Amino acid sequence: MKFGMDFSAPPRPPARAPACHTPVARFGNAPLFRAGRLGVFALLLWSVCLLMPATAMAQTLDAYRLGPGDRLKVTVFDHPRSSGDFELDSLGTISYPLLGRVEARGQTIVELQEFLRSELDKKYIVNPRVSVEVLNYRPFYIYGEVNRAGSYPYVIGLTVRRAVAIAGGFTRRAREGSAELVREGTEGTIKLTKEIDDNVLPGDIVRVQRRLF
């Protein structure tokens, strides 16, 4: 039997593993969400939402029909003399080497590209590779209850709201929720009612109406 007090050091607690913190995605100094399966899903969904307007606009321009004032770049690979820049004249035609006057008005880029490829293949170049792209779109027009009515250069991603901003904004009497739009279609001009964030295409005529009260 032992008597007296035990002055030895108390046993140390078992070592604890360092805390594992889940990384936090941040925008600037503000946390957005914690990483993990849910965070990755949220990031993907956020990216898709950001890309949707741009994708929709690209699809709209893919279906866009050419008109007077559009300026094109035509490339026939390995044939520089058949390549160049061309602007649609008032009749909607371009003066193209070898083929003469080509009716481009009312065609999409893909349709014109295929037409040039087919005609060159028939007469001059065996199995040509042809690319057509728009260098400059024709202007759009806006009038009515805006501060600076007129024609303006077209910019990618143009909406009714942005068109109004370019034209100096609404007047005090403007109907701000929508606008009337005249667009040239394959069978003539058509009249549309567009909401404030709907797309505007090259050559469109936007009319901002006066509110009823």
Per-residue burial over 68-95, b if 16 or more Cβ lie within 10 Å, else e, is bbbebebbbeebeebeeebebeeebbbe
Query: What is the distance between the alpha carbons of residues 101 and 93, in angstroms, rounded to a whole number?
Result: 6
Q: What is the pTM of this model?
A: 0.68
- Give first-to-last CA distance, the chain, whole Å: 105
Tens of pLDDT along 56-81?
Answer: 566 667 789 999 999 999 999 999 99
CATH fold for the domain made of 140-208? Outer membrane lipoprotein wza fold like (3.10.560)
Q: Which CATH class is domain 71-136?
A: alpha beta
Cα–Cα distance measured from residue 117 to residue 130, given in angstroms and rounded to the nearest whole number? 6
Question: For residue range 88-129, what is the model confidence (pLDDT) as tens digits?
Answer: 999 999 999 999 999 999 999 999 999 999 999 998 999 999
50, pLDDT greater than 50: no
Contacts of 170 (CB under 8 A, 6+ apart): 145, 146, 147, 164, 176, 208
> What are the pLDDT digits (tens) for 1-21?
444 545 455 556 555 545 444
How is the chain split into domains, by residue range? 33-62, 71-136, 140-208
Q: In 3D, which of 107, 92, 91, 97 has the Cα closest to residue 74?
A: 97
Residues 6 or more apart whose Cβ sits within 8 Å of residue 103: 92, 93
